[in-house]
Structure 1
Amino acid sequence: RQNPVKDVRNIPKETGGDFHKEHHGGSATSESLNVYSKSKVFSSDGIPTSKVIKHEPLISPGKKKRKTGQRFKSLRLVKRGDETEKPCQLTFGSYCLWSVEHKEEMKDLMVKKLKDQLFVARAYYPSIAKLQSQEKLSRELKQNIQDHERMLSEAVVDADLPLHVEEKIQRMEATITRAKSFHVDCSNVDKKLRQILDLTEDEAHFHRRQSAFLYHLGVQTMPKSLHCLSMRLTVEYFKSPSLDVEHTHSERLIDPALQHYVIFSKNILASSVAINSTVMSAKESGTLVFHILTDNQNYFSMKLWFSRIFYKKALINVQNIEDYFLENSYKLGIHPHLSFSEEFRISVQSVDQPSTVHMRTEYISVFSHAYFLLPDIFKKLKRIIVLDDDVVVQRDLSPLWNLDLKGKVSGAVEFCRVQLGHLKSYLGEKKYDENMCVWMSGLSIADLDKWREINLTGTYWQLLPEHMDLQNGTQTSWRTAALPTSILAFQDLIFLLNDTWVLSGLGTNYGVDEDAIRNTAVLHYNGNMKPWLELGIPKYKMYWRNFLTQQNQFMDECNVNP
């Protein structure tokens, strides 16, 4: 493990880089970004392919940089093979972090040793058999080969091997040692040993690719129990009499004097935990209004859930954002791809150590395209706080409502392990401070009055065509364009929150500091390993489960137990 980096002034000069899409299950699909010298695109099995792109190092290395808001005990870098090969995360993403933590004890160590001995013995046997004075050695070698073949034909793991296997291994080892003492035809031995090397490497890489594919499948797809819950709630919605709690509190929904939180989500449990944790941590719940923006598929299930589950005195408003697109298509001109959060995997390469082995991988989350519609959706509100659905709130957030943003449009926590200079190949020709840190979503404050005053959404629409073909945009191109458009649109418009407000990395990093977790207002489970997934990081799940709804009929029927 590498030592934690507390200050970016200690980070060496690094090149720009590329990005990958990171995916997670049960919520918005995320994206990932690789910051080094290869541009990656995911193939259908979730494993990226690449093409080489040249990048320049960051300038002004001596300039003082801000301290990073992340507090990690360690960073993991998993390597495949020797030092000349790429870091595991560059190829397989967060699967590498998961696989290290879930590495099982080998159950076939002796079996593998038998196979290795058998291959070496077979490599030497043809040459030894040609030596006329070594018939005895030849017979012994042949007998040992047959014994090994017999044992391996009946054994898959060490428990299947006979009791006398140790004796067989020692006998074979002694015979191979004697065979090596003779001057034999090296070409045959060399050919055989190269063959075993190639076969072993191919087999290892195949199993890693297969495991990575299954991992990505697990984090990209919604668990069966959550799908069941959504379907059951949808059916129940249409069977139940109309219950529109929001209509009876319509004035509260647009009252700028109240505290309005916005959550983009397609995940009932995730949004429920985000709301419940915020309410339970608040000093006063009667002033809280939550606006959940979801899609057509999840709208009815969420409507029913939040009409039957109450969170003290807080008001919950569920909106179908696709209705907004339909009603305003004449203004938008296009129908943006509906995504609620964007996450990128970034691999950063040091200029001083150009080998891809010496790369570090970071995971960031940025504002999605839907974020830029907020001033128009909430026309009568002046300030809102936007929460990602993969957060847990541990402290009262009311001080943020009176926070002076110093004329900025938004407030967010920065992440200085990735800087804009690392992303220069993706930000186009626009001018920007290369030493500026990126910022994270999770929790962000939006001053909607200031937003409308400077027409930030208009700036976004001007930037978007520079990074994608609007008329022929695919889901991938829309999601990829979220990174540069979001960063450039908000350039110099972000007020930096104290890093004690948000702690990110609980969906990727196994070494997040426990003291930091206890002392942070908002825990952000950004990354693939979400707390509602079986593949989530176990030791962080309890913070999320503390606010999970208990003893619910629909959850019990669908066996929902994340």
Structure 2
Amino acid sequence: MKGGGANGVAATKRRWKGFVIAVMGLVILSMLVPLVFLLGFHNAFHSPVTLSLSGSDFPSQQQHDSSSSSSQHDSDSVALGAYQSHNHTMDQHDETRHIEDLIERLAPALPKERVGKQDHEIFAQDGLNRSMTKAPMHVYQPKGSPGHRVETNVREASPERKNVNISKPIEVRQLAKGDESEIPCELRFGSYCIWRREHKEDMMDSMVKKLKDRLFVARAYFPSIAKLPVHENLSRELKQNIQDFERIFSEASTDADLPPHVEDKLRKMETAIARAKSVPVDCNNVDKKFRQLVDLTEDEANFHTKQSAFLYQLAVQTMPKSLHCLSMRLTVEYFHTSSEVLEDSVTEKYVDPKLYHYVIFSNNILASSVAINSTVVHAKESSKLVFHVLTDRQNFYAMKLWFVRNMFKKASIQVLNIEEYNIIPGSSLPEESRITFQSHKFPKMHYETQYVSLFSHAHYFLPEIFKILDKIVVLDDDVVVQQDLSALWRINMGGMVNGAAENCAVRLGQLENYLGRTNFNRNSCAWMSGLNVIDLARWRDLNLTGIFRRMVEELTMKSRQHEATASKASLLTFQDQVYALDDTWVLSGLGHDYGLNLQFIKNFAVLHYNGNMKPWLELGIPKYRSLWFKFLNREDQFLSDCNVIP
């Protein structure tokens, strides 16, 4: 009985053992089926997005991608491990097809014409963003190219990206190194931006800049290294190198001032930095320090940019020292010159209506001299030319002596003091304005900037100053004449008062906020001073001077700002009284536009240097300055005494 009982117990145990094994098998199968399902779902929809621009570097990076994903949740890690083991069994062809299939799925987010360009653009859209919130996006480039492997975490790529709503498309652009074409700095700093780009030179003091760069990096790593006791020697070495570099910069700012053996110090610093980079430190601390240094550097750079722009504008508006010297020397010499030499001998020509009368408003001796000389040189009959130079009291005596000392063929020159006609000093020069408005010509540009030069308050005294004359030509002092201008007196202006060059890039409708009025023709083009044919008889009949004064009063009352009121009132006063001269008469823009072709310039009768970069300033555009300087009389002794000759 005992033996039978024992056999029965053994049989029962075997049956229970088989049952337990069967249950365990069912449990294992029940776990594997969902796992296989999840594995397929993960493989189809939640795999990390990897774009291969070369098509050859993808397989070599699978192991790295496995390690970079180890920080996810446990369940994700199990699934990802199974996914990677499966990928190891795939050949390169299958992986390439997988990537191509993924790109096709994301076709709206990744246009085909953009993929594969060296300067690539990546657009992350809604479907892609959800899969990228956990895993970073990797962009692979061919080996040896700049930025071979770039990792961009959509949430933590930069401080600006932290608050980005990733449900919206995100555009990441990689611009060419040194590309400044996308920086709209002209609206902030005017023509200074153009001048800075034109005068951009190769980097000087490259060693100083390299030393500063290494000091910048060492300061970023030092706080993190100093917290690690095991790297006390490295911390001491970094500190010593930083102090050495700071001592160098306290005594030197250029390569020529650097002490000897500075290359050895640079090598020591680079070695210490290399060791610091190999130390496992908290990247957040280094990143934070870098950001602090970058913010300080950006603030300093922005300050210097604003300061440079201010100094540039100051240089534009201030008379150069050499021209001030010339005016003072001539003024002193005027009072040492006998009255017989200064006496006018051709006064009858000043009021002869049969002659060609030119009027120039100027406080600049050289500028007015060039404008007159270039006109006389190209005139067929210089004896018929009469120039009336209107200046202020400060420059009157210097201007008068200059034109007594310098003869311009047979032309007659009269110098008048504009302040004798009760005109406010400084209001005699043309009003130049830089107007920025929304552009309709270039859709990609939000704003467009144009330089407009118009009559000042003093120009509206012309009918009173020249009561006997019926027709005159008004020249700005920043012009150069290249052809004979006698044909201007034969133009039939059809009852219009002002023959001028129109600037249809600026229409009055675009200046509605600037003008502050609504009762004007919105399609009327702006007109330019520089070369203006004036019918004084018609001016008097229409009483344009009275209309101008009423316009000034209205504009001042509405805006309570006196700045540029003359320009606004001039546009409105002459909006229906401008006769458009042929386009070949005047070319404007030589004081701000770098894009004018020198061969194209020769076709115009008058060149107008409107803008900040006048040719007599060092800031002037170099390729246009020679056209101005060739009409300057360089033989006068005062020019060399005041160092005017460049």
Rate the CA distance shift 1:170–1:190 in 2: closer, same or farther, 3 A.
closer
1:318 aligns with 2:406: no
Query: Superposition RMSD on alpha carbons, in Å?
Result: 3.0
Q: Which ranges of structure 2 fall in alignment gaps of 5 or more residues?
A: 1-177
Give the Å deviation of 1:80.
Answer: 12
Q: Which of 198, 221, 240 lines up with 1:146 in the alignment?
A: 240
Aligned residue number for residue 263 of structure 1: 360
Retained in 2: the 8 A contact 1:337–1:478?
Answer: no
Give the Å deviation of 1:454.
Answer: 1.2
Give the Å deviation of 1:226.
Answer: 1.7
Give the Å deviation of 1:491.
Answer: 0.4
Retained in 2: the 8 A contact 1:151–1:162?
Answer: no
The aligned amino acid for 1:292 is V
Retained in 1: the 8 A contact 2:218–2:273?
Answer: no
Question: Structure 1 CA distance, aligned partners of 2:393 and 2:342?
Answer: 20
Give the Å deviation of 1:421.
Answer: 2.4
SS in structure 2 opposite 1:484? helix
**Identity, % of aligned positions:** 55
Retained in 1: the 8 A contact 2:432–2:452?
Answer: yes
Retained in 2: the 8 A contact 1:366–1:486?
Answer: yes
The aligned amino acid for 1:558 is C
Q: Which of 345, 348, 356 lines up with 2:437 in the alignment?
A: 348
SS in structure 1 opposite 2:377? helix
Retained in 2: the 8 A contact 1:121–1:141?
Answer: no
SS in structure 2 opposite 1:286? helix
Retained in 1: the 8 A contact 2:613–2:620?
Answer: yes
Aligned residue number for residue 370 of structure 1: 458
Bigger Cα displacement from structure 2, 228-237 vs 370-379: 228-237
Rate the CA distance shift 1:438–1:141 in 2: closer, same or farther, 3 A.
farther
1:466-481 to 2 correspondences below 5 Å: 466-468=554-556, 477-481=561-565
Aligned residue number for residue 523 of structure 2: 435
Aligned residue number for residue 402 of structure 1: 490
Aligned residue number for residue 634 of structure 2: 550
1:417 aligns with 2:417: no
1:299-318 to 2 correspondences below 5 Å: 299-318=396-415
Retained in 1: the 8 A contact 2:362–2:429?
Answer: yes
Q: Can you list the C-alpha shifts for 1:262-306, whole angstroms capped at 9, x where unaligned?
A: 000111111111111101110111111111111111111111221
Question: Structure 2 CA distance, aligned partners of 1:343 and 1:487?
Answer: 13
Question: Structure 1 CA distance, aligned partners of 2:265 and 2:255?
Answer: 10
Question: Structure 2 CA distance, aligned partners of 1:82 and 1:390?
Answer: 30
SS in structure 2 opposite 1:435? coil
Bigger Cα displacement from structure 2, 482-491 vs 236-245: 236-245
Q: Which of 327, 330, 338 lines up with 2:427 in the alignment?
A: 338
Aligned residue number for residue 541 of structure 2: 453
Give the Å deviation of 1:190.
Answer: 4.0
Rate the CA distance shift 1:200–1:310 in 2: closer, same or farther, 3 A.
same
1:235 aligns with 2:332: yes
Aligned residue number for residue 169 of structure 2: none
Q: Can you list the C-alpha shifts for 1:357-385, whole angstroms capped at 9, x where unaligned?
A: 85443322111111111111111111110
Rate the CA distance shift 1:252–1:448 in 2: closer, same or farther, 3 A.
same
1:285 aligns with 2:382: yes
Q: Can you list the C-alpha shifts for 1:210-258, whole angstroms capped at 9, x where unaligned?
A: 3223322322222222222212222222222224777543332111111
Question: Structure 2 CA distance, aligned partners of 1:426 and 1:296?
Answer: 33
Aligned residue number for residue 216 of structure 1: 313
Aligned residue number for residue 296 of structure 1: 393
Aligned residue number for residue 70 of structure 1: none
Q: Which ranges of structure 1 fall in alignment gaps of 5 or more residues?
A: 1-78, 327-334
Give the Å deviation of 1:540.
Answer: 1.5
1:68-83 to 2 correspondences below 5 Å: none
Aligned residue number for residue 535 of structure 1: 619
Query: How many pairs align?
Result: 463
The aligned amino acid for 2:538 is K
Rate the CA distance shift 1:239–1:450 in 2: closer, same or farther, 3 A.
same
Aligned residue number for residue 489 of structure 1: 573
User: With structure 1 as the length reference, what TM-score do the two structures score?
Assistant: 0.75
Aligned residue number for residue 107 of structure 1: 204
Aligned residue number for residue 373 of structure 2: 276
User: With structure 2 as the length reference, what TM-score do the two structures score?
Assistant: 0.66
Question: Structure 2 CA distance, aligned partners of 1:429 and 1:309?
Answer: 48
Question: Structure 2 CA distance, aligned partners of 1:351 and 1:142?
Answer: 62
SS in structure 1 opposite 2:335? helix
Retained in 2: the 8 A contact 1:117–1:172?
Answer: no
Give the Å deviation of 1:315.
Answer: 0.8
1:178 aligns with 2:262: no
The aligned amino acid for 2:490 is N
Retained in 2: the 8 A contact 1:80–1:88?
Answer: no
SS in structure 2 opposite 1:416? strand
Rate the CA distance shift 1:223–1:130 in 2: closer, same or farther, 3 A.
closer
Retained in 2: the 8 A contact 1:94–1:508?
Answer: yes
The aligned amino acid for 2:643 is N
Question: Structure 1 CA distance, aligned partners of 2:482 and 2:496?
Answer: 26
Question: Structure 1 CA distance, aligned partners of 2:384 and 2:246?
Answer: 71
1:200 aligns with 2:311: no
Rate the CA distance shift 1:505–1:81 in 2: closer, same or farther, 3 A.
closer
Bigger Cα displacement from structure 2, 545-554 vs 165-174: 165-174
Larger Rg over CA atoms: 2
Retained in 2: the 8 A contact 1:246–1:317?
Answer: no
Aligned residue number for residue 361 of structure 1: 449
Question: Structure 2 CA distance, aligned partners of 1:554 and 1:118?
Answer: 52
Give the Å deviation of 1:193.
Answer: 2.2
Aligned residue number for residue 162 of structure 1: 262
Rate the CA distance shift 1:107–1:469 in 2: closer, same or farther, 3 A.
same
Bigger Cα displacement from structure 2, 452-461 vs 340-349: 340-349
The aligned amino acid for 2:372 is I
Rate the CA distance shift 1:479–1:443 in 2: closer, same or farther, 3 A.
farther
Give the Å deviation of 1:478.
Answer: 4.4
Give the Å deviation of 1:524.
Answer: 1.1
Looking at secondary structure, tell me which structure has more helix per residue: 2
Rate the CA distance shift 1:350–1:502 in 2: closer, same or farther, 3 A.
closer
The aligned amino acid for 2:587 is L
Retained in 2: the 8 A contact 1:362–1:418?
Answer: yes
Question: Structure 1 CA distance, aligned partners of 2:578 and 2:269?
Answer: 66
Question: Structure 2 CA distance, aligned partners of 1:529 and 1:253?
Answer: 33
Q: Can you list the C-alpha shifts for 1:156-178, whole angstroms capped at 9, x where unaligned?
A: 34563722466446534533442
Question: Structure 2 CA distance, aligned partners of 1:115 and 1:509?
Answer: 36
Bigger Cα displacement from structure 2, 358-367 vs 509-518: 358-367
Question: Structure 2 CA distance, aligned partners of 1:238 and 1:201?
Answer: 55
